[in-house]
Structure 1
Amino acid sequence: MGDQLKEKKLICNIPSLDLPEGWSCIKAEGIGPFVTKAILKHPNGSHIGWASRDHRKHHNLLDSDTKSTWWAPKAIGWWVGVIFAIGAVCFTLGSSPVYPKIVGNNLDGMTFFIGSLFFTTAALAQYIETINARQTPKGLKLKEKIRLFTWEPRRIDWLAVVVQFIGTIFFNISTFYALNSLMTVQQINSQVWTPDAFGSICFLVASGLVWIEVGHSLFSWKIGSLSWQIAALNLIGSIAFGISAISAFILPLTGNPVNITLVNLGTFTGGLCFLIGALLLLPERTHPEKI
Structure 2
Amino acid sequence: MTRSRAVSATGRALPILVPTLTKQSWSFMVGSTLFAVGAAVAIWDLGSSNLTNMLCFIGAWFFTAAGLMQTILSGAATTEVDYGPGRMFRAVWLAAAIQSVGTILFNVSTSAALSAQTVQADERLVWNPDAGGSVAFLISAAFVYVAYYRERSTLWEPGQSGWWSAHINMVGCIAFGVSAVGAFVLSDGSLENATVANWGTFIGAICFFSASAIALPQLSWNHRETEAAPAAS
Same fold, TM exceeding 0.5? yes
Match of residue 69 from structure 2: 125
Match of residue 22 from structure 2: 78
Match of residue 26 from structure 1: none
- Contact 1:215 / 1:228 at 8 angstroms: preserved in 2? no
Give the 3 Å change call, closer, same or farther, for CA 243–219 of structure 1 in structure 2.
farther
- Contact 2:42 / 2:52 at 8 angstroms: preserved in 1? no
- Contact 1:163 / 1:203 at 8 angstroms: preserved in 2? yes
Pick one of 108, 122, 135 that aligns with 2:52: 108
Structure 2: gaps of 5 or more residues: 5-15, 80-86, 223-233
Q: Is the counterpart of residue 162 in structure 1 residue 115 in structure 2?
A: no
Bigger share in helix: 2
Give the 3 Å change call, closer, same or farther, for CA 75–162 of structure 1 in structure 2.
closer
Give the 3 Å change call, closer, same or farther, for CA 287–194 of structure 1 in structure 2.
same
Match of residue 31 from structure 1: none
Give the 3 Å change call, closer, same or farther, for CA 209–174 of structure 1 in structure 2.
same
TM-score by length of 2: 0.77
Deviation at 1:261, TM superposition (A): 1.1
Deviation at 1:285, TM superposition (A): 2.4
Deviates further, 221-230 or 86-95: 221-230
Deviation at 1:103, TM superposition (A): 3.9
- Contact 1:130 / 1:158 at 8 angstroms: preserved in 2? yes
Pick one of 109, 112, 120 that aligns with 1:177: 112
Query: Which structure's CA Rg is the greater one?
Result: 1
Give the 3 Å change call, closer, same or farther, for CA 128–203 of structure 1 in structure 2.
same
CA distance in 2, matches of 1:153, 1:162: 15
Q: Specify the SS of the correspondent of 1:222.
A: coil
Match of residue 190 from structure 1: 124
- Contact 2:180 / 2:197 at 8 angstroms: preserved in 1? yes
Q: Is the counterpart of residue 247 in structure 1 residue 182 in structure 2?
A: yes
Match of residue 237 from structure 1: 172
Give the 3 Å change call, closer, same or farther, for CA 127–279 of structure 1 in structure 2.
same
Deviation at 1:153, TM superposition (A): 5.9
CA displacement, residues 11-54 of structure 1 (integer Å, 9 cap, x when unaligned): xxxxxxxxxxxxxxxxxxxxxxxxxxxxxxxxxxxxxxxxxxxx
Q: Is the counterpart of residue 273 in structure 1 residue 207 in structure 2?
A: yes
Give the 3 Å change call, closer, same or farther, for CA 168–61 of structure 1 in structure 2.
same
Deviation at 1:182, TM superposition (A): 2.1
Q: Is the counterpart of residue 221 in structure 1 residue 221 in structure 2?
A: no
Question: What amino acid is the match of 2:57?
Answer: F
Deviation at 1:107, TM superposition (A): 2.2
Deviation at 1:101, TM superposition (A): 3.5
Q: Post-superposition, which runs of at least 4 consecutive aligned residues in structure 1 deviate over 6 A? A: none
Give the 3 Å change call, closer, same or farther, for CA 60–122 of structure 1 in structure 2.
farther
Match of residue 23 from structure 1: none
CA distance in 1, matches of 2:153, 2:193: 31
TM-score by length of 1: 0.63
Deviation at 1:104, TM superposition (A): 2.3
- Contact 2:91 / 2:144 at 8 angstroms: preserved in 1? yes
Structure 1: gaps of 5 or more residues: 1-58, 63-72, 136-151
1:126-165 matches, within 5 Å, as 126-131=70-75, 154-165=89-100
- Contact 1:247 / 1:259 at 8 angstroms: preserved in 2? yes
Question: What amino acid is the match of 2:124?
Answer: S
| CA-atom RMSD in angstroms | 3.0
Deviation at 1:96, TM superposition (A): 1.1
